[in-house]
Chain A
Amino acid sequence: MVTSTSVTQQPPLVSVRDLSISYGAKVALRGVELDVMSNEILGIIGPANAGKTSFLRALNRMDDFVPGMRVEGSVKFAGREVRDIRNHYALRRHIGVVFPLPVGLPLSIYDNVALAPRLAGRRKKSELDEVVERCLRRAALWDEVKDRLGSLGSLLSGGQQQRLTIARALSQDPELLLLDEFSIAVDPVTTMRIEEVLKGLRSELTIVLVTNLVQQARRLADRTAFFLGGQCVEIHKTEDMFAGGVKDPRTIDYLEGRFG
C-alpha cells in the first residue's frame, strides 16, 4: 500500500495538465488534471462516454493511430512531455496496454508473449523461455497452456485470450500498465485471479485501471478518479471515496448506483 507521505515525496510517474481530447467536432475530454504516482493503482470509474478510454489513449500517444483524434494540453511521462518524445517506440514499450476486447495475435501462444522481447532484439532461446513462462504465470494462464505453447493464441477462448493479452503486455517489462475494462470478456473467477496478480504487481509497476465496475476499483485501486461527461469530477484515496469522502452529488449518485 502506498502511503500518502511517499506519494507526496516522489515526483509523479504521469502528470496530466489541462488535457483535452476531441474527435472532429466531438469533444471527449476537457481540462483534465491528474497525477499518477509510481507504484500505485489508479482506478478510473465512470459511465460510458465519460472519456476514460480517450484518457488512456493520450497517455501512450495512441492518438497517432486514430485519424481525427486531437489531443491538447500536457501529458508528461517520467518527466518528459510525451508529445515531444521522438522515440515514441520506446515510450510505448514502457507502457503496456490491455483493451476490453482481447487481442490474441495470429501467432503461437509462445510467440505472442515472446513478440515484445523479440522486437526489442532479444534472441536467446533460454531468455525468451524464461520471459514467456514468467509472464504467462503472472497472467494466471501458464497452467492452462503450458502443454500447448505452440498452438494459435488467437484461437483461445475469450478469457484465455485476455490473459494472454495481459501476459503480452507484461512481457514488455512496462513501467506503466494501462488496463481498459479488462474483465469484460473474462469470467468472474478468472477476474478475481487477475485482480490478485495486479495487486502483486504493484510493487514493480504502476497501473491505471479503467473500469465500469465500481467494486473492482474499490478492491484494487489506491486512489480512484470519477470521470463524467469528459471531465474528471473528483479524485480521492479509494477508502475515502467509499467512506463518504466525496463532495460532488453526481459522484455519490454514481457510487450508489443511481445511474451508470
Chain B
Amino acid sequence: MSLQAVFRATPHEARSFTVQQLVRLLFLAMTLLLLLPVLGILAVLVVEGAPGLSLDFFLTKPRDNGAAGGIATALVGTIWLTAGALLLALPLGVAAAIYLSEYARDNWLTRTINIAIVNLAGVPSIVHALFGVGAFVHFMGFGKSILAASCTLAVMTLPVMIVATRESLQAVPKAFREACWNMGATRWQTIWRIVLPNSGGGILTGLILVVCRAVGETAPIMFTGAVFLREPFPNDVFDKAMALSFHLYTVSTQVTDVPAHVPFAVALTLILVVLAMNALAIYVRMHLRGRKKW
C-alpha cells in the first residue's frame, strides 16, 4: 500500500461519513423547528400588538372593562404581586438552600425534603391556587388580597429559588470550605465569608426565574388576589389588585367589544417584561463569569 492510500476512505468509512452528515442535518432541522413557534409567537404579537403600544397605553387606567384606555392599574398590580412574591421567596428559598447544601446530612429527612421540593415544582399552578385560597385567603385570614396572592406565588416559585441557589452553592469547591473549617471557622463564618459571596450568580438566576413566573402566572392569583377590574391603585398589601396576566385573560375572553389589538398589546407587554428580565439575567451572568475567581 502506498503512503497516500492510507488516507483514502474505505467503503466502510465513506458510509459512516454519509451517515454522520445526514444525522447532523436532521438534528439541525429539528433544532430550527424548535425556533419556529417562538419566532411565530413573537412575530404575531409584534405585528398585531405593537401598534397598540404607546406610553399612553402604559400610563392610563383601563376604561369600559378594559375595552378602552390603557393597562396602568394592571401593570402596577403585577409589580406589587411580583415584588411581594420575591420578598417572600428570596429569603425563604436562600435559607432553605443554605440549609440543604451546607448543613443537612444525607439522611432520610434531607432526602424527603429534596423529594418534596421536586414534587412542589411539579404541582400544577391551579392546585397552588386552591391551596392559596385555603391557606392564605381563609385560614390565615388575609382575605382576597395582594398578600394572599403573593404568598401563593411565593410557594409556587420556592422550588425554583431553592434549586437554583443550591446549585450555585454546590458549585463552590469543597476544598474552600475545608480550608476554612480547618482554620477553626464555624459553618456560618465559612458560608458568610466564602460560599455566599461566590454564589451570587446562581441566586440572581433563581431570583429572575421567580420574577418571570410570578409575572406570567394567572391561575394562582385569580382566586387569591387578582381582580377583573379595579379603578384605584393598591394602597397596601391587603388590597386587591389587577394583574397583567389576568387582564389578558379577561380582555381576550370575558369582555365583548374589545378592539382586536388590545389583547395582543397586553400579551406583548407581558412577553417584553419576561424577555427583559431574561436578558438582564444573561447580562449579569456574563458579567459575573467575566471576573472568574478561581
Contacts and interface: CB of A to CB of B under 8 A. Distances in A.
Interface of A: 60, 62, 65, 67, 89-93, 95-97, 99, 101, 103-107, 115-116, 119-120, 152, 154-155, 165, 168-169, 172
B261 to A, nearest CB: 52
A103 B179 contact: yes
Interface residues of B, number: 21
B179 A105 contact: yes
Contact of A65 (B106, B181, B183): B181
B182 A92 contact: yes
Given A67-B106, A115-B193, A119-B189, A106 B182 contact: no
Given A89-B184, A92-B184, A106 B194 contact: yes
A154 B293 contact: yes
A90 B293 contact: no
A103 B182 CA distance: 12
A105 B182 contact: no
A49 to B, nearest CB: 21
Interface of B is mostly: helix
B185 A60 contact: no
B293 A93 contact: no
Interface in B169-193: 175-186, 189, 193
Contacts of B293: 106, 152, 154-155
A92 B176 contact: no
Nearest to B172: A106
A227 to B, nearest CB: 22
Nearest to B197: A106
A172 B294 contact: no
B198 interface: yes
A120 B184 contact: yes
Contacts of A120: 184
Given A67-B106, A154-B293, A116 B175 contact: no
A155 B186 CA distance: 25
Contacts of A92: 181-184
29 contacts: A62-B182, A65-B181, A67-B105, A67-B106, A90-B184, A92-B181, A92-B182, A92-B184, A95-B182, A96-B182, A99-B175, A101-B175, A103-B175, A103-B179, A104-B294, A105-B179, A105-B180, A105-B194, A106-B194, A106-B197, A106-B198, A107-B193, A115-B183, A115-B185, A115-B193, A116-B183, A119-B189, A168-B183, A172-B183
